């Protein structure tokens, strides 16, 4: 309301410059390509808020699904801001006019400015998602900087661990599984990185806590089926 703009999410999403110093975003800009940038953001997104990015790559496309933890409702313009920023990041880092193959939102804004910005129509769906072509996903980032990422990564992982240290691992796993279930990507290799762990480390820590990955997954599915 204060911006007095028919598409405030578009204005906000495009306003973050490439030199903005937010460590998780800086880590994304340091990536070699869009696929790696989205994977890094999916790991460190919790440092920016109770939000998740589910990233799925195939031979044909890169899918990025955006959601809130714990079933929080996200206003349409807030989601639009986030999706615009992800596309803006891709364009800034590659200096190419990247257009996603698909843009989906649970509550699409009115057609017009957003469709023009993305280059495709924003479609109504049961999730908030961007789909990029495999070619654009692999397009080199001009901002790639592996040396700087090597400096930031340990601190980012430490912050992630500190933020979630008080919560039992099983509770954090259940939250990660809830976010992953809609996409069907519930294999331990897909979920462990969301917790900042390798699959082996996650299984070992769960064993120390008296449970297992498969047991937690089955228990969650059973609870959801009976609720």
pLDDT of residue 70: 63
Distance, CA of 57 to CA of 94 (rounded, Å): 19
Distance CA 82, CA 13 (A): 6
Interacting residues of 177 by C-beta distance below 8 A, sequence separation 6+: 186, 191, 216, 217, 220
**Do residues 148 and 26 make contact, with C-beta atoms less than 8 angstroms apart?**
yes
Confidence (pLDDT) at 67: 87
Q: Which residue's entry shows tokens 């980032």? A: 141
Q: Tell me whether strands 122-124 and 128-133 are parallel, antiparallel or unpaired.
A: unpaired
- Confidence at residue 64, expressed as pLDDT on a 0 to 100 scale: 96
- Whether 85 contacts 18, CB under 8 Å: no
Give the residue ranges of the chain where pLDDT is below 50. none
3-class state of residue 13 by DSSP: helix
pTM recorded for the entire structure: 0.69
Q: Which residues pair with 33 in a beta bridge?
A: 140
Neighbours of 158 (CB within 10 A): 11
**What does the pLDDT read at residue 102?**
97
Quote the pLDDT of residue 132. Answer: 98
Q: What is the pLDDT of residue 14?
A: 80
Long-range contacts, 155-159 (Cβ 8 Å, 24+): 155/23, 156/23, 156/24, 156/27, 156/44, 156/47, 157/196, 159/23, 159/47
pLDDT at residue 88, rounded to an integer: 93
């Amino acid at each position: 309301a204060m911006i007095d703009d028919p598409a405030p999410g578009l204005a906000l999403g495009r306003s973050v410059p490439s030199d903005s110093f937010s460590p998780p975003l800086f880590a994304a800009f340091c990536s070699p390509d869009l696929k790696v940038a989205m994977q890094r953001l999916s790991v460190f997104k919790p440092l920016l808020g109770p939000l998740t990015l589910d990233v799925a790559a195939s031979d044909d496309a890169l899918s990025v699904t955006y959601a809130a933890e714990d079933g929080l409702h996200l206003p349409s313009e807030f989601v639009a801001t986030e999706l615009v920023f992800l596309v803006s990041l891709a364009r800034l880092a590659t200096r190419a006019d990247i257009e996603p193959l698909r843009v989906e939102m649970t509550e699409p804004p009115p057609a017009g400015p957003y469709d023009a910005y993305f280059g495709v129509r924003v479609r109504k769906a049961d999730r908030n998602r961007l789909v990029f072509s495999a070619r654009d996903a692999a397009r080199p980032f001009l901002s790639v900087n592996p040396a700087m990422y090597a400096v930031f990564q340990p601190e980012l992982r430490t912050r992630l661990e500190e933020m979630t240290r008080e919560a039992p691992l099983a509770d954090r796993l259940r939250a990660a599984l809830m976010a992953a279930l809609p996409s069907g990507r519930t294999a331990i290799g897909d979920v462990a990185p969301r917790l900042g762990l390798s699959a082996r480390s996650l299984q070992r820590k769960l064993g120390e806590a008296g449970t297992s990955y498969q047991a937690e997954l089955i228990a969650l599915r059973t609870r959801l089926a009976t609720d």
